[in-house]
């Protein structure tokens, strides 16, 4: 592992356009549970698809029940050393920014400025009808107290939804296009805590590799792109990032 850390640090020092790509593994180290594991939120509920949410008041209520339970479990989470190290690298102009699959907002809380949230953010709600956006906490508290799906405060009748990408919903087009451009122009991508099996997100490090970038994968388990990686670092995301930073 030591040689991999040192070589990654060397590549990062020399990189002209480095990008960090993150998945759930970096946030579990902040105490955010894996909602898909046995006993997790998503194992207790059926999936509410985007078209159902749009068409059915009952589906919207079920969606809000799921999201409210999940929110209670992650809202108090704080950025860990991995998030803070990535923010530090951006401030030092070592990386262009962060592309993340995570919806927890921890990169921004850590101080990262240019964060492309491919699956949106659970720290806001948005109205599907008038596009207004609001901080999520008051609406979660309202639902917990009343068990009534809150209406949009701006247009009154609008369907209010967490500003995240639901099953069956398209990724935000502008965000995806920026992420693709970053990866096309990258000379180094460091993937942290992602299984790299969920597409189209997982296709971004793959795109960078095809365009000639070096690909470093930091993860506890095997990933879908291990076979094409230039470096595999197994173990804690935070510890690995901290070690790379120390070797810079």
Respond yes or no: is residue 119 known to be catalytic: yes
Instruction: Please state the pTM of the whole predicted model.
Output: 0.93
Q: How do residues 183-218 score in pLDDT, each as one tens digit?
A: 999 999 999 999 999 899 999 999 999 999 999 999
Q: pLDDT of 136-185, one tens digit each?
A: 999 999 999 999 999 999 998 899 999 999 999 999 999 999 999 999 99
Q: Mean per-residue pLDDT for 88-104?
A: 97
- Residues 27, 35: Cα–Cα separation, whole Å: 12
Q: Which of 107, 119, 162, 177 is catalytic?
A: 119
Q: Reading across the β-sheet that carries 188-192, which strands appear in turn? A: 115-117, 97-100, 18-22, 188-192, 214-219, 231-234
- Asked if 208 and 190 count as a contact pair (C-beta separation under 8 A), the reply is no
């Amino acid at each position: 592992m030591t040689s991999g850390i040192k070589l990654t640090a060397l590549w990062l020092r020399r990189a002209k356009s480095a990008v960090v790509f993150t998945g759930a593994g970096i946030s579990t180290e902040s105490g955010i549970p894996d909602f898909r594991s046995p006993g997790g939120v998503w194992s207790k509920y059926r999936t509410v698809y985007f078209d159902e949410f749009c068409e059915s008041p009952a589906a919207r209520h079920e969606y809000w029940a799921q999201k409210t339970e999940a929110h209670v479990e992650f809202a108090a989470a704080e950025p860990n050393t991995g998030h803070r190290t990535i923010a530090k690298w951006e401030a030092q102009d070592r990386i262009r920014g962060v592309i993340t699959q995570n919806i927890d907002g921890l990169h921004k809380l850590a101080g990262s400025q240019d964060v492309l949230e491919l699956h949106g953010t659970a720290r806001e709600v948005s109205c599907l009808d008038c596009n207004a956006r609001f901080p999520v906490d008051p609406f979660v508290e309202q639902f917990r107290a009343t068990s009534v799906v809150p209406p949009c405060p701006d247009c009154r009748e609008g369907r209010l939804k967490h500003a995240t990408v639901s099953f069956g919903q398209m990724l935000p087009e502008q965000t995806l296009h920026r992420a693709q451009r970053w990866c096309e122009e990258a000379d180094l991508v460091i993937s942290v805590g992602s299984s790299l099996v969920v597409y189209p997100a997982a296709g971004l490090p793959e795109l960078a590799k095809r365009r000639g970038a070096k690909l470093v994968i930091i993860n506890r388990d095997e990933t879908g792109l291990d076979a094409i990686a230039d470096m595999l670092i197994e173990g804690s995301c935070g510890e690995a990032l901290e070690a790379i930073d120390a070797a810079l």
